[in-house]
Structure 1
Amino acid sequence: SYSEAFRKMVAQLRREYAFNGIPGKEPDWDALVAELEPRIVEAERNNDARAFYRALNDFVLAFPDGHVGLNGGLIGAQVFAEQTAGGYGFAIRELSDGSFVVVYVLENSPAARAGMRVGATVTAFNGLPIGEAVSQVRPLTTFSTETSRRYQQVRYLLRAQPGDTAEVTFANPGAAPVTVTLTAIEERQSFAATSLYLGVDPNALPVEFRLLRSGVGYIKLNSNYDDLHLLIQLFERALRTFQNNRSPGVIIDLRQNTGGAPLGLAGYLTDQPIPAGQSEAYSDATGRFEKRGVPREIEPNETQFRFDKVAVLVGLACSSACEFEAYGFSQIPGAIVVGYYPTNGIFADVARGDYRLPEGFSAQFSAMRTVLPDGSLLIEGKGVEPTLRVPITAEGLLSGQDVELQAAEQAILGR
């Protein structure tokens, strides 16, 4: 039954959820159950699979953990489609100074017909200052960091049901502010315009590389889940190419790598082991979280390469195993981590955290954590932070240039 499956899942999670006992990570179990169990029972009484899904989804969204998720099958897909079907025909980004700029306007959309142009500054939404309106948004997925949450809040602010209305105050470049009422239409282009995966080529090789005009080597690591043998071959080939060309430095781009298998590729660039934390998981034998295996290290590779400087490009799409790679590269002496944002801050093992539920639903929760010698979590909840934070400006976003890559190249060249 719905209620029996829910109670069984919660009982197991109270014992085994990876971040139990971690301040800011463990949910308030009693409050969650008090809020959601009556909804589960009511859904069961009414044989309402959709209401069951919505209650489970609210349960999942209570976890500050980007690895936590719910697969609702066709019902879940329908609910998501309904909640994101409409938009007003424009997209915005938050800048480093806290202002919001329009980065996309759909042709012949409500926003376009109201005179909004790319580069406009948005100052209010439905009577609230724009920053406050963004803070009230509840996105439809989970997050491990506030940076990731905030990015998606900005995106989801402008999702609506077709026919919904919103009052928007904006000022086009060089013009006075105006307040207009927009009616949402069915469109997803504006949502896609600020996707973290915009421009990803699903047919690309796992590793792409080239020499920039400056002579700096550039490697884009597209995935850690493709053909891993080919990935390693291409990565080594790239480093050898750059070494043969006496590149002054190497840029490793991880911004759109969503993870897969942690490979420890930093081992090609250092002859010293890189400590990478200790895994811990719940033990049925002791009833406590215990160490699993030996402390993790990124081992030096037999084949070694050296460059004067190494820069690592990171961003919010870099998750899980990608973050392990980013962490490893960040520990190379003298490495520069460059980006608008840190990595996604999602780092845990979910192998024992799968739950099968009625109606063909399934849920995933973190089951193993990685801690550093001081007891703090590795990567989870903070990500790999840039040491060179690139300011997010209207000029940069609207330039059509890869400003982060340019910053990394300039850092390597010492300019």
Structure 2
Amino acid sequence: MRSSIISFIFAGFIASSAVAQDGPRSIEGTVSSDSFIFQPQYWPNPSVGLLDATGFVAGDFDSFVPADDQVLGRFTDPLFTGEGRYRIDLPIVPRGGRLDLNGDGTAALGIFTLVSAPNLSSDSYLEQLEQFGGLFSILIDQQTGAIETGSLLMFSEDGAESFPSAWGDDGIWFTDDDPQQVVPQGWSVARLVADGGVTIETDPRPEINTIEAADAASPDFSSLGYVEAFDALIDHLWTHYAYTEFRNVDWDAVSARYRPDVVAAADADDAGGFYLALNDMALSFEDTHTAVSAGFLNQAINTAKQEAELSRFGAGVGAEALVVSDPDAGILPGDMILVSRVAEGSPAEEAGWTEGTEILEINGMPAHEYLASLPLIEATGVAELQPYLRAPRLFSFPDGAEVSFTFRNSDEQDARTVQLTAGDFMVPFEPSKPEKSTMPIDFTSIGGVAIVSWRNFSDHMLSKIAVLEEALQIESETGSTGMILDLRGNGGGLVELYQVMASYFFTEGDPMPEQPFDTWGYDAETGAFVRLMPTDRTLYSPRADLAFTGPLVILIDQGCASSCEYFTQHLQLLDRASVVGQHASLGAGGFIDRINMPAEISFQYTAMRTTFRNSDEPNLEARGVIPDVRVPVTLETLAAVRNGEDPVMDAAFDVIAALSDPRLKLTATPWVWTLAATVDLEEVEIDAPEKYEVTFSDDGTYTLQADCNRVTGNWTLEDAMLTMTPGQATLALCPEPSQGETFARIMASANAIDFNGDDLFIIVEGDDYLVLQLEATE
């Protein structure tokens, strides 16, 4: 446990007297990174500035730095297209917290860190999560939060404050055993060296650069030969792949299985063969995040991919398969495989197959077992999805292959077995999914329900936030009954963007925890994966007027991956959204890194994993997001899609209707009487509101506390008209002043009701009070 000597004050501070300024007037430097994610796509609208770091020094990472405690600079040479040079002009006296490191009782030392990050909210400051999503001038231990090395900018008001001159015997900065040195008045720079030394500089224009940990750079094996690069890849994955234990990966066995293919590719100088070996290895892990990619213009690789696919699956029998899933009927994915379409003049049609024909066996093997033997078209560890990601190859074979099928038509009791010859028999295209917008983000409104859809969290980031804000603005003006977020086919992307977009569905009074999951990263010192330091930061809508708190439904499918899944599961775990879909999501849990390989090939793998909080259980990997409402996969739902309908969207509207039912709001919480308005529109505050409470039960009964008396009865709600019929009641004489008799009388009549946020309004007729306001207690 660190023994802190810090007296730590967060307050906006403006000096009333001049401060000597013999030190820096401005700072300059370079923002850079060797991580693959440091590119314009993931760093839109980059900002650079100084953040109040007094909290970091004190070990507090649970708070965000207010806008007034930030000093933004400008890039003098742009990122990515230039050298990423910046300049920040320093204020004469900065705002922000002050520390007392010399123990004299006066907190007069400000400490700041350089930060550069994407400014997703396009504000004139870094908003909430943006402050922690970039590069700094210091390195922080990801397990303990201790500052390890780097540069800090300091401001001393009186020239009497001290700062460590080195770390003490514990090897940790800012603890009792640190030797001290005096900080000159005004601005200065502290350079914290990794071996524990500190120098303080007062140059008028010091150079401060962003820094990153040595292992933050993405590996690059592109200059090696195929075999050498493969061996280096295996060595790296052996220690850095996040799910080695979870998947029981034997790296010796993996190398023995795929290295001969790599050697053969190297001997033949065959880039395509090298790609196929790496791709087969990546697919074998059944990890969505682990994948191989190459440039679209690489002819050798494209040819190898095409030839490999055609040699195994280049011909067919003229039919399309449907993997049925209907949990309500007890049919799980893989239990039943039906023919959904048959091409005219194909072997399948000649054999008597029709829509609804059930496939029982293929080449003498039960259909579900044969399906399980096929390679996935996309990697996933989610068991229920694997049949769907194999089904497109179920009726595909090498050209001329003789294949035996045992099947049963829907109008027949007996099964039949036929021998079919695979050939060039194409099934004409028909959509199997509802048509989606090609726009990066789209917004519409149907029947008072706002529908927003976007295809990923990785491009057009500023546009996505702008359109979401526009949708929320329209929603707030029109008062929609709910919102549907259609994330089907959303392939994921930047974690920070998912968190920023999710924050719009929370208020400052009821915020969203930033980290509902634990994150694990590789620690070179221990040679193992360790749990990174959790924080208790919370997020809420960057614009309070746009926070949406109404009914929310998220649509997912097997194309929802990575950040799409985190977004969905985050809101689902907080009971903020209901999830509707036909399938679980893809199960891509964790954070990725990419390794450059020869032949312009990139090998992507899961470098960090996540688990449920305070658990070793993966929250998404090989699990996915499980829908709260399942829509079956049947011939009927498929036919509906092909007719232009959307059964999943229809189910979402049903959920919105149920969540919007005022009966649910009434029964969700007890209500206390807090305010009333007279017929003269005079507001009357209710003393001791806890004495006036009503609870509506699902069974149509209510319990009402009217000061010292208690009333029970029945209630109904029709067209916003609440009728309460009292039953048994106590008749005690309550001490004055009491509103018990008034409360019981008004609530026992038929009154119109309305909701506004967490408040219930009772509109009264023929009484001294015109409106009663009740607040939710839960």
Q: Is the 8 A contact 1:222 1:257 kept in 2?
A: yes
Q: How far apart are residue 153 of structure 1 and its match?
A: 1.9
Contact kept? 1:276, 1:296, Cα under 8 Å: no
1:92–1:100: 8 Å Cα contact kept in structure 2? Answer: yes
> Contact 1:355–1:363 at 8 Å: present in 2 too?
yes
What is the CA–CA distance in structure 1 between the aligned matches of 2:394 and 2:623, rounded to whole Å?
Answer: 24
From 265, 268, 272, the counterpart of 2:504: 268
- For 1:115-130, list aligned pairs within 5 A: 115-130=352-367
Residue 356 of structure 1: how far off its partner (Å): 0.6
Seen in structure 2, the aligned counterparts of structure 1 residues 356 and 48 have a Cα distance that, compared at 3 Å, is: closer
In 2, distance between residues paired with 1:266 and 1:187? Answer: 46
Which residue of 2 is the match for residue 101 of structure 1?
338
1:169-248 maps to which residues of 2 (within 5 A)? 169-175=406-412, 177-186=415-424, 199-201=435-437, 204-213=438-447, 215-248=448-481
Aligned to 1:342: 584
The alpha carbon displacement at 1:52 in A equals: 4.2
Conserved in 1, the CA contact under 8 Å of 2:492 and 2:563?
yes
The Cα of 1:189 is off from its aligned counterpart by 5.0
Tell me which residue corresponds to 1:32: 254
Alpha-carbon RMSD? 2.9
Checking the alignment, whether the CA contact within 8 Å between 1:280 and 1:291 is kept in structure 2 is: yes
Name the counterpart of 1:65.
Answer: 287
Distance apart, 1:294 and its partner CA: 5.2
Structure 1 pair 188–323 and aligned structure 2 pair: CA distance change class (3 A): farther
- Select the structure of larger CA radius of gyration: 2
**In the superposition, relative to structure 1, how do residues 211 and 339 fare at CA in structure 2: closer, same or farther (>3 Å)?**
same
Q: Does 1:13 align with 2:237?
A: yes
Do the aligned partners of residues 84 and 244 (structure 1) sit closer, same or farther apart at CA in structure 2, a change above 3 Å counting? farther
Letter in 2 for 1:273: M
Indicate yes or no: 2:388 matched with 1:148: no
Contact 2:320 2:427 in 1 (8 A): no
Aligned to 2:640: 399
TM-score under structure 1 normalisation?
0.86
Greater displacement, 220-229 / 239-248 = 239-248
Q: CA deviation at 1:66?
A: 1.0
Task: Provide the residue aligned with 1:85 in structure 2.
Answer: 314
Q: Is this contact kept in 2: 1:155–1:194, CA < 8 A?
A: no
Residue in 2 that maps onto 1:363: 603
Q: 1:290-335 deviations in whole A, cap 9, x for unaligned?
A: 4557548672113343354211111110011211221233234352
Cα gap change, 1:65 to 1:194, in 2 (>3 Å):
farther
Is 1:259 paired with 2:492? yes
Q: Cα distance, 1:254 vs. partner?
A: 0.8
Pair 1:164 & 2:438 matched: no
**Counterparts in 2 of 1:269-284, with a 5 A limit?**
269-271=505-507, 272-274=511-513, 275-284=515-524
Structure 1 contact 43–52 (Cα < 8 Å) conserved: yes
In structure 1, distance between residues paired with 2:426 and 2:589: 30
Taking the aligned partners of 1:314 and 1:174, their CA distance within structure 2 comes to 35
Could you tell which deviates more after superposition, 9-18 or 231-240?
231-240
Q: 1:174 to 1:331 in 2, by over 3 A?
A: same
Which residue does the alignment assign to 1:383? 624
Q: Which runs of 5+ in 1 are unaligned?
A: none
* Contact 1:240–1:305 under 8 Å retained in 2: no
The Cα of 1:283 is off from its aligned counterpart by: 3.0
Q: How far apart, in 1, do the equivalents of 2:396 and 2:655 lie?
A: 38
- Cα pair distance change 1:293/1:227, threshold 3 Å: farther
1:408 aligns with 2:652: yes
How many residues matched? 406
Letter of the 2:385 partner, please give it: S
Q: Distance in 2 between matches of 1:317 and 1:309?
A: 24
Q: Which range is displaced more, 12-21 or 394-403? A: 394-403
Deviation at 1:136, TM superposition (A): 1.9
Partner of 2:389, secondary structure, is helix
TM-score, normalised to structure 2, is: 0.48
Q: For 2:521, what is the secondary structure of its paired residue? A: strand
Asked if 1 retains the 8 angstrom alpha-carbon contact of 2:342 and 2:427, the reply is: no
- 1:138 Cα deviation (Å)? 2.4
More strand as a share of residues: 2
Q: Which residue of structure 2 aligns with residue 326 of structure 1?
A: 568
- Between the aligned partners of 1:188 and 1:267, the Cα distance in structure 2 is 47
Partner amino acid, structure 1, of 2:605: F
Q: Does 1:139 align with 2:395?
A: no
> What amino acid sits opposite 2:623 in the alignment?
K
Moved more, 118-127 or 290-299: 290-299
| 1:102 to partner: Cα distance | 2.0
- Cα deviation digits, residues 237-270 of structure 1 (max 9, x gap): 2233334333222221111111222322221112
Kindly tell me: are residues 300 and 107 of structure 1, through their superposed partners in 2, closer, same or farther at Cα, counting changes over 3 Å?
farther
CA distance in 1 between counterparts of 2:282 and 2:418 reads 36
Q: Percent identity?
A: 27
CA distance in 2, matches of 1:298, 1:58: 42
Amino acid corresponding to residue 245 of structure 1 in structure 2: T
Looking at structure 2, the residues matched to 267 and 289 of structure 1 have their Cα atoms a distance apart, in angstroms, of 30
Contact (CA 8 Å) 1:250, 1:307: kept in 2 or not?
no
Asked if structure 2 preserves the Cα contact closer than 8 Å seen for 1:276 and 1:295, the reply is: no
Mapped to 2, the partners of 1:193 and 1:47 lie a distance apart of 41
> Which structure 2 residue ranges, 5 or more long, are not aligned?
1-224, 295-300, 326-330, 662-778
